[in-house]
Amino acid sequence: MKITLLAATACLLPVTASADDFGYGAKTGFYTVSQSGFDPAWMISGHVSHDLPKMMEKFDFSLELEASTTITEGDVDLDAPAGSSGEYDATVFSLSAVGRTTGDLYGIGRLGFSDTEIEVGASGSGLQSVSGKTEKTGVVFGGGVGMDLGGFPTEFELNIYTVGDENAYYLTGGVAY
């Protein structure tokens, strides 16, 4: 799936695109899964974007390829014997169409596809360590607000990823150039 996302992005970028059409950014925030017992984990992300031709006066559109990974493990309540604990890590790759209103204070909307991998591990006194991994392709959608602080665009977003029958949530703050 990761190679498919990269190939799709490459096909969508015109050969004649100038360097001004490309952007990048970074963000960080809290990631959690809607399934009961998952506590938030700290996640970081980086993205590259390609601006699409201007289609509407008050909106800018782009394609964004984003890679995200947890940098702390989130706790999982396993309803297991006392002394047992569980933790999870997540990695997400997404390709999204993103729209932003124009102006110094702007709205953000996102819709795309994601590949999410969640790995859960558990251990405890008297128990054998176990782990499991889920990898699902799904949809990502979200929204937020941004503000241009003198050439320093700062953005805050909530993105929702479908992961099988569950959703994952990523509340972020970051910069985009």
- Per-residue pLDDT averaged across 15-29, rounded? 76
The number of domains in the chain is 1
**Domain-located, residue 86:** yes
pLDDT in tens, 61-78: 999 999 999 999 988 876
Output the pTM of the full model: 0.80
Q: Please report the pLDDT score of residue 151 as a whole number.
A: 82
Q: Is 17 part of a structural domain of the chain?
A: no
CA atoms of 75 and 127, how far apart (whole Å): 18
Residue 18 domain flag: no
Q: Decide if 102 is inside a domain.
A: yes
Q: pLDDT tens-digit profile of 104-125?
A: 999 999 999 999 999 988 876 6
Residue 146 scores a pLDDT above 80: yes
Q: Tell me the two tokens of residue 123.
A: 């251990």
Determine how many CB atoms are found less than 10 A away from the CB of residue 145. Answer: 14
The reply to whether 163 falls in a domain is yes
Q: Is 164 left (phi over 0), alpha (psi -120 to 50) or beta?
A: left
Q: What is the CB neighbour count within 10 angstroms for residue 132?
A: 10
Sequence-ordered strand ranges (E) for 34-126 = 41-51, 59-70, 74-76, 85-101, 105-124
Distance CA 140, CA 166 (A): 12
Choice between 1 and 113, residue whose per-residue pLDDT is larger: 113
- The CATH number assigned to the domain holding 94 equals 2.40.160.20
Among residues 121, 65, 69, which one has the least CA distance to residue 90?
69
